Amino acid sequence: MMVRQQALVTLTCALLLLLCGAGCGLIGPPSIRGGRPAYNDALVATNSQQVLAMIVRMRYGEPSGLLAVSSITANIRIQVNAGAEFGIGTESSYQGNLVPLAAGFAYEENPTISYVPVHGERYMRQLLAPIPLDLTMLLLGSLCDSPQAIALLVRSINGMRNPDFLWTDSAEADPRFARLVELLAQLARQGRLTWGQESGSDSSFVLALTGAAGGLDPQLAQLFNLLGFAAPEDLDGVITLPVQLGIGSSAEPTIRLETRSLFDLFQIAAASVEVPKEHLESGAAHRLPPSGPLGRSIQIRRSKDRPDGAVAEVRHHGWWYSIDGTDTASKLTFWILESLISVRIADTVEHGKARPVLTVPVSR
């Protein structure tokens, strides 16, 4: 009997050590490896859903709101227990009434997520104001080989219009603008174009062009002609053109950009939402005029069933609306929209720390 009890004690201790070791394996670095990607994936997915919902609700003329995640705190608790029961006296007095060995293991994670509502005058100004030149130049510099990026961010270049919508039957997009952005993209792909900032300057931006050696450069000559000023006689080497915010053309060799606002971009995206015909006829969804060239760069599809392989999807008025994961143009446009609104949200939250914070304990 004594030998049997000692064996049970030994086995209980061994099991307790094993459970403790398993618990220790879940905390520390392993908890970061398992938790951080999951939380990050959830943030990315919900940010995309929030932006897509804002676009869809704008098509329906409905108000929308944004919540910024200000903090995530995850508390982890691990509880391990083990026990054994031993009888005293004759075996007949306790046989069948004892649990020789018992063990338990509990893992509990309690995340607390804090949200900050995004609203107020500062957010409204950022939503309606044209995209600042420095942010525009950063995006153009990163996506300089994409005509889509230029068409998205810029409404006009040196008087060449890139309209948001074609409000009348006779309205047409300026074909010179399409040719201009294609030329800029071609030069970028050749490594001969850079959107940047002058060295030692905090506010002077330039478009740097590299001419072809050994004679006339037809691409640069056509580019200068579209911009509305004469090409320099020597198109060899590096040529820099100042970039400024402005409307119309300039007599000087300067690039004048009129940028869109975030509201403009979301309104154009909203026009691409495939709403049901009955929603248009009933007035539930807005009828919008045909969009300009930019409207072709994003398509938000609808379906009765939840779509597979979507970058983002939301359910609204009984339909699923989504960005198809195989639609490269739509994904790029949606990424730029989401990046821009994220910058605006972060800036608004940073300057509005005194606003109410909603803290939600997810579980207990």
Cα gap 304→322, rounded to integer Å: 11
Give the CB-side neighbour count of residue 75, counting CA atoms within 13 A.
8
Angle at 146 between CA 144 and CA 150, to 5 degrees: 75
| Residue 150 CB contacts under 8 Å (≥ 6 apart), including other chains | 140, 181, 184, 185
Identify the pLDDT of residue 119: 77
Cα gap 19→28, rounded to integer Å: 16
Between residues 129 and 9, the one the model is more confident about:
129
User: Would you say the C-alpha torsion 166, 169, 173, 174 has a positive or negative sign?
Assistant: negative
Give the CB-side neighbour count of residue 126, counting CA atoms within 13 A.
18
pLDDT at 143 over 60: yes
Cα gap 54→59, rounded to integer Å: 9
Identify the pLDDT of residue 349: 65
Buried b (16+ CB within 10 A) or exposed e, 223-238: bbebbbbebeeebeee
pLDDT at 3 over 50: no
Give, as one character, the DSSP assignment of residue 164.
Answer: S
Q: Are strands 237-245 and 255-259 parallel, antiparallel or unpaired?
A: parallel
- Tokens (6 digits) for 289: 């005029």
Between residues 39 and 98, the one the model is more confident about:
39
Give, as one character, the DSSP assignment of residue 285.
Answer: S
Query: In this prediction, what percent of the chain has a pLDDT beyond 90?
Result: 39
Segment 240-256 shows an average pLDDT of 88
Closest by alpha carbon to 360, among 21, 159, 72, 130? Answer: 72
Number of H helices, E strands in the chain: 10, 12
Question: Among 11-20, 176-185, 191-200, which range has the highest average pLDDT?
Answer: 176-185
Identify the pLDDT of residue 35: 67
Task: Judge contact between 314 and 58, C-beta under 8 A.
Answer: no
Task: Judge contact between 332 and 145, C-beta under 8 A.
Answer: no
Contacts of residues 348-354 at CB distance under 8 Å and 24 or more positions apart, as own/partner, are: 348/68, 348/118, 348/120, 348/122, 348/123, 348/126, 349/68, 349/70, 349/116, 349/118, 351/122, 352/116, 352/120, 352/122
Residue type, 284: A
Range list of β-strands (E), 11-65: none
Cα gap 337→272, rounded to integer Å: 14
Instruction: Render pLDDT for 50-84 as a digit per residue (tens, 0 to 9).
Output: 999 999 999 999 988 888 877 777 766 656 555 55
- Tokens (6 digits) for 251: 């007599």
Identify the pLDDT of residue 252: 81
Closest by alpha carbon to 145, among 179, 114, 184? Answer: 184
Instruction: Render pLDDT for 264-287 as a digit per residue (tens, 0 to 9).
Output: 999 999 999 999 999 999 999 998
pLDDT at 363 over 60: no
Buried b (16+ CB within 10 A) or exposed e, 94-111: eeeeeeeeeeeeeeeeeb
| Mean pLDDT across the chain | 79
Backbone φ and ψ for 192, nearest 5 degrees, come out as -115, 10
Cα gap 112→70, rounded to integer Å: 11
Residue type, 35: G
* Burial group, residue 42, by CB count within 10 angstroms (0-12, 13-18, 19+): middle
Q: How far is CA 44 from CA 37, 270, 324, 335, 361, in A?
A: 10, 21, 16, 11, 20
pLDDT at 1 over 60: no
pLDDT at 337 over 60: yes
